[in-house]
Amino acid sequence: MAKEPIKEELLQSISYKAPKTFWMDTPAQIKPGMFCWGAKAKSLNVVGMPNARDWNPLDEDWKLPENWQEILIEGLRERLDKYRSLRLFLDICVRCGACADKCHFYIGTGDPKNMPVVRGELMRSIYRKYFTTPGKVFGKLAGARELDLQVLKEWWTYFFQCTECRRCSVFCPYGIDHAEITIAGRELLNLLGLNIEWIQGPVSNCYMKGNHLGLEPQTIVSNVEFMVDDIETLTGIRINPTFNRKGAEILFVTPSGDLFADPGTYTCMGYLMLFHELGLDYTWSTYASEGGNFGFFTSNEMAKRLNSKIYAEAKRLGVKWILGGECGHMWRLVHQYMDTWNGPAGFLEVPKSPITGTVFDNAKSTKMTHIIEFTADLIKHGKLKLDPSRNDHLKVTFHDSCNTARGMGVFEEPRHVLKNICRNFYEMPRETIKEQTFCCGSGSGLNAGEDMELRLRGGLARANAVKYVHDKHGVNMLANICAIDRASLTTSMNYWVPGVTVAGVHELVANALVMTGEKKRETDLRGEPLPAPEDQTSVSARAVAQPEGEKAGGEANV
């Protein structure tokens, strides 16, 4: 892991005043702490990506194929004809500058090339040169330039300094989404074997073993067993989750990070406890054991190849519908891509909560429901016995993940859940939440160790808003619904706002969840002592969440 920069120095190094030299005349610098290692031949070969070789971004020579320019130009041509977004966004930007200071990487670096508009220009200048008449005729005057090695290195540097968060597209008068440019840019770089290992490694793992972390089936089972043991210690209740079970009603898919390291594991314990309490007829899968998809940060085709496992497994197991755990990019893909890639899922049924009877019509075609929709519905119908006082030691704020925010619009569901499971909830400033939310700084496969300075810089905008509510209200818990957030925000908080911990919403749900037959809880899921020792008789007298108005639709299964 790269050495952490000193906080004051980092802050002082940020200036929003642009340097005198024009960005086109400023070669990109590949600086330690600001980039990720190149993809290894081994990882590329597993999935048959072209031009596999070991290479070092710091070397002068990237061992490129002879005809690399031709590959890129032809690759760009192909994508211009396949994606209206790409062609249109390259054509219509007026450089009004509205997006310039909306990117967390610009905010954290002050580097003009991290202004979304310039990120677009990196590719647009090449597009002009090779695909438009004015660019061919007038060259630099028309903002066009030759594709040379310097440009290639610049692309590589800055398309791996964009987390595809789409914040820029909220403010652009034409909705120009630089994630689309970055996605295309990374696909093109991948034609030359120029992925980063932090993405390529998980991709090949996921392809062969079913998940990014490369957890083999027996490891998945034993990791879950560990959590089951911890839950037993905490509650006295023994849970028996099943794996690859045919005939279950629901297939549950979540990012593998939740199975691996805290704080994700606490969220995972939350799922286990909730499903047990509901008596849900569900199964885990070791084959489709990854909700996330680093393939999406590689190429559209790679993303589709990895995503295919979810429907394939649902079909093999004969489940009725799919429930998805807390994750950001996983959900953008489930919501906006999965059905198109690997559907139609006619073999599944429209998701229906067996507890409340609610039919999730909003997932009528894709047949996959977000757990936060599922849980919000449970709480609304009063199906959970909750003791929010068990979260009284927490002052909570909520981080909207980029993908569920700007690629779905999941805003009120998590807030409804949070307000029912904890009693101290504070929003961050309006310009930093919901559709305007800031990236954690480490999305789209940039959550490696060697690019720590980049991640901390990229995380500044989010962290600064947390700092605001931390200073003002004493917020000490940053809740979220994303596996990458859980890991990366923990790092970011330790650096920028010490004293704030990070948790998935379902960890907090499980803290508050009063389970049938549980023993008196001494601690929360993390083993931290509960605020005021609980005596079971007072639980029902406490703020046990009441059903709100509406009648429950179906039979309680508890």
Partner 1 sequence: MKALLPFLAVVFLVLLVIAGVKAAGLYFIFGVLVPYAAAAAFLLGFVYRVVKWGKTPVPFHIPTTCGQQKSLSWIKPNGIENPSGTGGVVIRMLLEVLLFRSLFKNRKTKMKGEYLVYGWAPWLWLAGMAFHWSFLLIVIRHLRFFFQSVPAAVQSLEHLDSILNWGVPALYITDVIFLVAVTYLFLRRVTLSQMKAISLPADFFPLFLLLGIGTSGVLMRYQTRVDVVGVKELVMGLVSLHPSVVSGIGTIFYVHLFLISALFAYFPWSKLVHAGGVFLSPTRNLSNNSRVARHVNPWSYPVKVHTYEEYEDDFREKMKMAGVPVERE
Q: Which residues within the stretch 15-54 sit at the binding site for ligand HEM (CB under 6 A)?
A: none
Pairing of strands 368-370, 321-324: parallel
For residue 217, the partner it binds in ligand SF4, partner 1, ligand HEM, none, with Cβ less than 5 to 8 A by kind, is partner 1
The entry of ligand HEM, partner 1, ligand SF4, none near residue 243 (CB within 5 to 8 angstroms by kind) is: partner 1
Alpha-carbon gap, residue 540 to 544, rounded angstroms: 6
Amino acid identity, residue 444? S
Among residues 28, 107, 231, 508, which is the contact residue for partner 1, using CB under 8 A?
A: 107
Region of 62-70, 95-103, 254-262, 392-400 interacting with partner 1 (CB under 8 A): 95-103
162 binds, among ligand SF4, ligand HEM, partner 1, none (CB under 5 to 8 A by kind): ligand SF4
Measured from the CB of residue 97, what is the shortest distance to ligand HEM in angstroms?
A: 7
| Binding residues among 107-146 for ligand SF4 as defined by CB under 6 A | 116-117, 119-120
Q: Alpha-carbon distance 280 to 311, whole Å?
A: 20
Query: Which residue has 């597993």 as its token pair?
Result: 46
Shortest Cβ distance from residue 119 to ligand SF4 (Å)?
5
Q: Tokens standing for 394?
A: 């927490």
340 binds, among ligand SF4, partner 1, ligand HEM, none (CB under 5 to 8 A by kind): partner 1
DSSP per-residue codes, 463-482: HHHHHHHHHHH---EEEES-
Residue among 31, 174, 347, 519 that touches partner 1 (CB under 8 A): 174
| C-beta neighbour count of 422 within 10 angstroms | 25
Closer CB to partner 1, 166 or 521, in the complex: 166
The DSSP bridge partners found for residue 523 are 529
- Across the strands, what pairs with 479? 398, 503
Q: Does 34 bind ligand SF4 (CB under 6 A)?
A: no
Nearest to 87 by CA among 187, 184, 172: 184
Site for partner 1 in 262-291 (CB under 8 A): 286-287
102 near partner 1, judged by CB under 8 A: yes
Nearer to ligand HEM, 89 or 198 (CB): 89
Are the beta carbons of 530 and 524 closer than 8 angstroms? Answer: yes
Based on the shown chain and the rule CB under 6 A, indicate whether residue 96 belongs to the binding site for ligand HEM: yes
Burial class from Cβ neighbours inside 10 Å (0-12, 13-18, 19+) for residue 148 reads: exposed
Tally of CB atoms within 10 A around 272: 22
Q: What is the DSSP letter of 355?
A: T
Interface with ligand SF4 in residues 1-20 (CB under 6 A): none
The answer to whether 172 contacts ligand SF4 (rule: CB under 6 A) is yes
How many Å is the maximal CA-CA distance in the chain?
82
Of positions 38, 123, 129, 143, contacts partner 1 by CB under 8 A: 143
**Residue 429 binding partner per list ligand SF4, ligand HEM, partner 1, none, with a CB distance cut-off of 5 to 8 Å that depends on partner kind:** partner 1
Q: Report if residue 420 touches partner 1, rule: CB under 8 A.
A: no
Rank residues 167 and 304 by Cβ distance to ligand SF4 and give the closer one: 167
Q: Which residues contact 453 (CB under 8 A, 6 or more apart)?
A: 2, 4, 5, 10, 31, 33, 34
- Least distance from ligand HEM to the Cβ atom of residue 393, Å: 49
Instruction: Kindly tell me which of 117 and 151 has the beta carbon lying closer to partner 1.
Output: 117
Contact with partner 1 (CB under 8 A) among 30, 41, 64, 142: 142
The rounded distance, in Å, linking the Cα atoms of 445 and 518 is 40
- Least CB distance to ligand HEM at residue 87 (A): 18
Kindly write out the interface string for residues 167-196 of this chain, putting x where it contacts ligand HEM by CB under 6 A and - elsewhere: ------x-----------------------
Whether the CB-CB separation of 375 and 348 falls below 8 Å is answered with no
Pull the structure tokens for residue 30: 């590949």
Q: Which two tokens stand for residue 64?
A: 């490129």
Q: Per-residue DSSP letters for 397-458?
A: EEPPPHHHHHTT---HHHHHHHHHH-S-B-PPPGGGSGGGPPP-S-TTT---STTHHHHHHH
Looking only at residues 193 through 232 of this chain, which bind partner 1 when binding is defined by CB under 8 A?
207-210, 216-218, 221-222
According to the binding rule CB under 6 A, does residue 94 interact with ligand HEM?
A: yes
Smallest separation, CB 184 to ligand HEM (Å): 23
Task: For the CB of residue 117, give the shortest distance to ligand HEM in the complex, in Å.
Answer: 11
Q: Locate tokens 């508050």: which residue?
A: 512
**What is the gyration radius of the CA atoms in the chain, in angstroms?**
24
Shortest spacing between CB 288 and partner 1, in angstroms? 9
Binding site for ligand HEM (CB under 6 A): 94, 96, 173
